[in-house]
């Protein structure tokens, strides 16, 4: 039972990473290729839901999380304004 819970947590963590990347891609407006990239990540997200998580380790999930964090670091400047307030800080939904 513990192993099953751990695998569920792995799946959730990987899905969260992919979801975060999709959200960032939607916010960043690249004139060329944005839709293609989004559709590929959406397909990846679907594939993860069918993935055999018994083949995944903590190390694998940590590497995905590190890669996601590195990507977010690359986009940091896009989401900050010149006065160092994050974009959308003043905007509430």
* 58: in domain: yes
* 62: in domain: yes
Q: How confident is the model at residue 18 (pLDDT cuts 50, 70, 90)?
A: very high
For residue 21, give its domain range. Answer: 2-66
* 15: in domain: yes
* 83: in domain: no
DSSP state of 85: P
pLDDT tens, position by position, 22-49: 888 887 766 555 677 778 888 888 888 8
For the chain, what is the domain count? 1
Residue 63's nearest CA partner among 3, 12, 14, 11 is: 14
In the numeric block, which tokens belong to residue 70? 């590195």
Q: Could you give phi then psi for residue 13, rounded to 5 degrees?
A: -65, -40
């Amino acid at each position: 039972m513990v192993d099953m819970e751990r695998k569920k947590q792995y799946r959730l963590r990987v899905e969260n990473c992919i979801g975060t990347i999709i959200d960032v891609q939607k916010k960043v407006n690249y004139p060329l290729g944005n839709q293609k990239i989004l559709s590929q990540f959406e397909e990846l997200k679907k594939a993860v839901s069918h993935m055999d998580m018994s083949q995944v380790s903590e190390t694998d999930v940590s590497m995905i999380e590190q890669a996601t964090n590195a990507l977010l670091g690359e986009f940091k400047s896009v989401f900050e304004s010149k006065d160092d307030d994050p974009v959308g800080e003043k905007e509430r939904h």
